[in-house]
Structure 1
């Protein structure tokens, strides 16, 4: 079941989203080690979401339209703030000068950034709840095996994002600083687009 979860998780990784871009951007601007702390933050949050889904929290969220709307708005706002932060930081401007979380680069802050960014879409709990319900019904797997499936999915996130971090750290060795600045701005704009889409859905 761990291997099945890993394979399923790898399929999900192919849909590149804001978290993947964040890890790539961190690797380019701060190096592999810092970005790996971000990867650990993503894996931690994914594991928490998966655990909550298994425990049935996803079903509660699914029934409340207001909660889903609030989560979409909140998540969209987080993505837009991160996007603007990436863009303006390329020009030495901080939109949140009093919040060191988005300003300083430390292993702890990168981890927390990754947790916040990944956690900006708690609707992922609903997705995992649906996945596990399907697995239990169609494949008749036990509750214990559901946990192993979730572990496999988390391992896929760790593996894939580590490769992304490695790729970003290698790319930065060959790119001039102005190209890296352009990439930071591009990542920021993409995050803003993701955020606006999330707001639109709400």
Structure 2
């Protein structure tokens, strides 16, 4: 792949990343409710799923998606249930307090939730099935090309998602009074639950 190919792919990935979707709402709400670390861990999971999509796209994602169609449906509903559970947890948090991070919200759980979120994201599936092949000559792929594509994904998707995470964590710092924290939990919980419902019905 030439520099022009990488640049075109990066721009396409960046534009796809900027468009808000369930993943953006989920990581932003998680960062607002639980801090920067939670959002960063979820972003790592998002990127790992993007790497998997890249490998599948190169090896024939359409065929894999057809064979594993039911598995993708299961993943979608698992992700939706997880987001709804997170939202309800925030909505049920004690008034005036910020929900503390329970055992299920460990680093591994946050990474896994981000991973499942991308796997169940229709926007990601459409991009890698329909748009990705127009930027990449899949039949002529070399290992350096694959690493270069993953680097593009890291820079494009990672930078945008981390920007949303940072904005969410900064908003959290402004909400220091009990009343504001209660409002924060309710807003973040509602967004997370709504994102879960969106993932389930799409």
TM-score (norm 1): 0.75
Would you identify which runs of 4 or more consecutive aligned residues in structure 1 move more than 6 Å?
Answer: none
Distance verdict in 2 for CA 1:77–1:23, change over 3 Å: same
Give the gaps of 5 or more residues in structure 1.
94-101
For 1:186, the equivalent position in structure 2 comes to: 190
Q: Aligned residue for 2:63?
A: 60
CA drift at 1:67: 4.3
> Which is further off, 143-152 or 171-180?
143-152
Aligned to 2:80: 80
Task: Check conservation: 1:50, 1:125, Cα contact below 8 A.
Answer: no
CA RMSD of aligned residues (A): 3.1
Gapped runs of 5+ residues in structure 2? Answer: 95-101
The residue aligned with 1:197 is 201
**How far apart, CA to CA, are the structure 2 residues paired with 1:160 and 1:150?**
15
Counterpart Cα distance in 1 of 2:125 and 2:133 = 12
Residue number in structure 2 paired with 1:97 = none
Q: Is structure 2 residue 179 aligned with structure 1 residue 174?
A: no
1:149–1:131 distance in 2 versus 1, CA, 3 Å: farther
Deviates more, 1:167-176 or 1:74-83: 74-83
Tell me how far 1:10 sits from its aligned partner: 1.0
Does the 8 Å CA contact 2:26/2:83 hold for their aligned counterparts? Answer: no
Query: In 2 relative to 1, CA 17–71 (structure 1 residues): closer, same or farther, beyond 3 Å?
Result: farther
Most deviating of 179-188 and 120-129: 120-129
**Bigger CA drift: 23-32 or 73-82?**
73-82
In the alignment, is the contact (CA less than 8 A) between 1:86 and 1:188 conserved in 2?
yes
Question: 1:115: which partner in 2?
Answer: 115
Partner of 2:19: 15
Encode CA deviations 1:109-136: one digit per residue, 9 max, x unaligned: 2112212222234894564143343235
Is the 8 Å Cα contact of residues 75 and 121 (structure 1) preserved in structure 2?
Answer: no
Alignment match, 1:27: 31
Displacement of 1:191: 1.6
Alignment of 1:133-172 (within 5 A): 133-136=133-136, 142-144=140-142, 147=146, 148-172=148-172
Distance 1:173 1:136, change over 3 A: closer
Instruction: After superposing the two structures, state which structure 1 stretch, 4-13 or 150-159, moved more.
Output: 150-159
**Pairwise CA distance, 1:30:** 1.9
